[in-house]
Amino acid sequence: MKKVQLTVNRVFVSFILLISTLFIISPVPGISDGNRVSFYEYLYGWPLRWLNVTSVTDKGSSFIKNFFTGNEGISIQWINLLGSFLFIFVVVSIIFFFAEKLYKKYDFLIST
């Protein structure tokens, strides 16, 4: 049961970090020329840039402004989303592993 709880904790932390990267890490901007108007594209999500928000006006690179006010389209690259989640999950698992080892080491030193 302890292994299941540790896995659930790692998945939860990975999911929270995946969502928070949308707000923390700045997007990769790009301009996509349309037939009559230029579209501004912003790629969000770290590390594989899995969320693409398209806008007619350049409102800045804030995720909240681009996502919730007047965008022309939002697309999710599901493979990149899965890859980003797995990458973050592996990094979180490594951090949990070293934290557990460090905790056991110092717990042993304190208890003796």
Cα–Cα separations (whole angstroms), residue 72 to 32, 66, 112? 12, 10, 64
Q: How confident is the model at residue 10 (pLDDT cuts 50, 70, 90)?
A: very high
3-state helix, strand, coil in the chain (%, to 5): 55, 20, 25
Q: Is the pLDDT of residue 15 over 70?
A: yes
So what's the pLDDT on residue 25? Answer: 86
Structural domains of the chain, count: 1
Mean of per-residue pLDDT scores for the chain:
85
Report the SS3 class of residue 69: coil
What is the pTM (predicted TM-score) of this model?
0.81
So what's the pLDDT on residue 112? Answer: 56
Q: Which domain holds residue 94?
A: 2-111
Report the SS3 class of residue 28: strand
Report the SS3 class of residue 61: coil
